[in-house]
Amino acid sequence: MDIYEFASKSFEKHYDSTMTVQLFGTSKNEDDPFSDGDWQDYLFNKPCRIAQKRQSSTASQDKYAVAELSPYIYCSPQYDIPVGSRILVTDRHGKTNIYERSGESFSSYATHQEFMVNKVVKA
């Protein structure tokens, strides 16, 4: 085992969640020409970790201090997760949150890749 395999195994010990990646595809209902597409599973139950990074912290005389937090997902660099996909993350407590992929992954690391997502919130 080389140093990168050892480092990857060590990093993967921190994965405490699983993710299911979905892509938007065409509907399987060919009889209805007006049917919309639907989300289809692309990767299923892959180990990952979700974390938040603080992007900025601002304060002014008119406003309260605001800290913007952005969720990031960390996973193995062997997965190809397309931009625009939807990711369902189930944490270690069994709670599932839905995220949308917002950008390119940073996969220059030998041990993992990370990418920023947006949490889907229904009002």
User: What is the reported pLDDT for 57?
Assistant: 57
* CATH code for the part of the protein at 3-8+17-24+39-119: 2.40.10
Average confidence (pLDDT) over 94-123: 84
From the number of C-beta atoms within 10 Å of its C-beta (0-12, 13-18, 19+), residue 117 rates as buried
Average pLDDT over residues 83-108: 88
Identify the pLDDT of residue 20. 96
Q: How confident is the model at residue 109 (pLDDT cuts 50, 70, 90)?
A: confident
Locate the domains of the chain by residue range: 3-8+17-24+39-119
Give the tens place of pLDDT for each residue, 10-22: 888 899 999 999 9
Residue 37: per-residue pLDDT: 76
User: 37-87 pLDDT, tens per residue?
Assistant: 788 999 999 999 999 877 665 655 656 665 577 899 999 989 988 888 999
Burial of 99 (0-12, 13-18, 19+ CB in 10 A): buried
